Amino acid sequence: MSTPDEEILAGHLQELRRGTVVLACLATLQEPGYGYALLETLGRAGLSVEANTLYPLLRRLERQGLLDAEWNTEESRPRKFYRTSAQGGVVLDALLRDWESLHSAVRRLG
């Protein structure tokens, strides 16, 4: 009776993680990097994200001007690398502040 539906739990966990992934991308890409390397860094940090979630997100953040992207054409197959832009840095700071205050709020309630 008290085992929650797996799908319901998964949905709430996903919602809790979604905003965090943006934060983690902007934080990590203060050092320029490729999508694939970012995927590995996030996974090692305990923030597993699927490639088909991460790549569209990176393109969205680029479109929003929060990431700068450049092509590395020195290798046989050109690869895009990303870096947090100045605007992205401002958004990162705001998200980090909000995140810390959410964290304190939840602790007070929990």
Residue ranges in contact with its own copies by CB under 8 A: 1-5, 8-9, 12-13, 15-20, 22-24, 27-28, 41-42, 45-47, 64-66, 85-91, 94-96, 98-99, 101-106, 108-110
In angstroms, give the least distance from the CB of 47 to its own copies: 5
CA distance 108 to 91: 26
Nearer to its own copies, 72 or 87 (CB): 87
CA distance 41 to 36: 9
Dihedral (CA of 22, 27, 28, 30) sign: positive
In angstroms, give the least distance from the CB of 35 to its own copies: 16
Backbone angles phi, psi at 85, to 5 degrees: -80, 175
Nearer to its own copies, 52 or 106 (CB): 106
Joined together, the tokens standing for residue 48 give 């597993």
Nearer to its own copies, 78 or 110 (CB): 110
